[in-house]
Structure 1
């Protein structure tokens, strides 16, 4: 029977014990770096072993650590994939401004700036809905500003991530770890570098060390870069597509700089429109950003393909010039609904992409990380449906 590989987009539900342990970690003098202890490390290692086994039982074949090394201190946290990087870089100072409440900024043609989080066009269009019924999940994350030369100091932390995951893998299994992209990391304030480009490429140099450690360990590296699609909504007024493509091209250039010399087959880029639960009516179509995104020097591309705002875009892959050997990693179960997708629907979604590039170049996945976005029991039911849907898709291909 034809086998369809499966994976996740990274974050999986933390156990209450792990969340409590992270919440109890001491905060360093800088205001945002968390301390650790042998007890926390042992708890994390066991939790990673358990989450890998649960993925295995659900039918997931490319296994992750659930992002358990990236501390969450509450059950709802949409930013752990990003904020962990603040603890692994020198040159940062805790900011006195909050990106959710800072004054709104306005762009002009040819000059794009990101506005505040609360000034996103989707959020302002549906202000009453957000205020009344949606938890934005901002948590208590402290956002820093770059105030000095950036350098990497996360060697021990990434080594622990690698150690925990490799200990949980069986011989012959492949695992992956996530790391933030330069474009997403650089969305904090900058008071040191002369230009935005310099700030981006400084982050690229910092993150190259983390990327290289993961790849050298024989693991797949997933680079999380929602900024490529999500930033469109954080620009007021709405820019032209051409201006936006120019804006994200610099971010792809910085990413390619960070990935220089690393083997493409171990590199996966994760693209999404933001994992908060909202209408997303101001999301940019994937067709408008693919001409730039496909220039990233990676071997596979993970993207949202299951939620109601983007599922229809599977037809784009019939029309676009897909780079030779690029592996597609479409989300076939979603993070934005509590409804658990039927395995037959999952199989149908998988086969759409198989028709475009063949079964060996499709890895079925989740839209975004499920940890902190849906209840843990629902998350695991979705992964079981993902595994069963992949089995059904493989059986359909075998029949034909």
Structure 2
């Protein structure tokens, strides 16, 4: 689907969207393969991130600050298993290892944000897409692995982020939020971050008319999109915030971005000047909404 678009887009950007990360790595002669027991090796790296973030926040006195870490299921799907007897065993071995990183972040005083794009993006990769019930089983196991990794970590120190991918493509095969929202809410987190601003998912505020946000939990809807260079007007941002606040309660909503503006350090989707303009619009819109809701 949209073959002509992707051929031109990949040629212009150098990025490949139609292959899995494993296939991409294999094409470069660098397959990422698990061949021995999984143990956590990132202690120095995560401590460096923690130290750098603390230095950046010095003198700023933020209300809250979070550090993201990837979900076990997203790691699993980006690497090939040649050691564990089953994919489930492999997945839970990753969860055991990642618990160390999660605990390090929380123990340092920061909130932990679990980034888990693959729990929904995987739906649109097979052609044809799987049946919804089949896919729900896939997602349920990945959520079980997250909760396994989060054992011992207080829910109110965790945010859970999912998105339908940051590539600037059609996204016509995205799994609808309504089909997996109940599974997402099983993640033992205090807040849930979802895409809600881009053209493919902007209508899904309606899902929350029929789904109850669990007591004590917070929804972080995206009110500025990462999929366009157009900078949202603060009034639109305020409208979006107010829509969710009226449904869920003003104290249960935090305004957010749909996703990160850069998939990685070397794959920016939006120019940094536009990123900052969008964050400014988010700030101004949130101020307007706060004034009106309180």
What TM-score does the superposition give when structure 1 sets the normalisation length? 0.66
The CA deviation at 1:396 is 1.1
1:312 to 193, 196, 203: 203
Distance 1:174 1:291 in 2: 27
Match of 1:128 in 2: 4
Q: Is 1:261 equivalent to 2:152 in the alignment?
A: yes
CA contact (8 A) 1:165 1:175 kept: no
Give 5+ residue unaligned stretches, structure 2.
263-267
Q: Is 1:221 equivalent to 2:97 in the alignment?
A: no
Distance 1:391 1:129 in 2: 39
Secondary structure, aligned partner of 1:160:
helix
Q: Is 1:176 equivalent to 2:66 in the alignment?
A: yes
Distance 2:228 2:167 in 1: 11
1:289 to 160, 168, 180: 180
Distance 1:278 1:256 in 2: 31
Distance 2:214 2:229 in 1: 35
2:224 to 315, 333, 340: 333
Match of 1:158 in 2: 46
What whole-Å deviation, never above 9, does each CA across 1:300-349 have from its counterpart, x for those lacking one?
Answer: 00010000000000011111122111110111001111100000000001
What whole-Å deviation, never above 9, does each CA across 1:58-80 have from its counterpart, x for those lacking one?
Answer: xxxxxxxxxxxxxxxxxxxxxxx
Change over 3 Å in CA distance of 1:260–1:136 after alignment to 2: farther
Distance 1:244 1:130 in 2: 25
The CA deviation at 1:143 is 4.9
Give 5+ residue unaligned stretches, structure 1.
1-124
The CA deviation at 1:364 is 0.7
Secondary structure, aligned partner of 1:338:
coil
What whole-Å deviation, never above 9, does each CA across 1:232-267 have from its counterpart, x for those lacking one?
Answer: 001232211111000111100000000011011110
The CA deviation at 1:172 is 5.4
What TM-score does the superposition give when structure 2 sets the normalisation length? 0.90
Q: Map residues 362-373 of structure 1 onto 2, 5 A cutoff.
A: 362-371=253-262, 372-373=268-269
* Segments of 4+ moved more than 4 angstroms: 138-143
Distance 2:168 2:104 in 1: 33
Distance 2:260 2:167 in 1: 11
Match of 1:388 in 2: 284
The CA deviation at 1:359 is 2.0
Q: Is 1:196 equivalent to 2:87 in the alignment?
A: yes
The CA deviation at 1:225 is 0.4
Q: Is 1:376 equivalent to 2:264 in the alignment?
A: no
Match of 1:323 in 2: 214
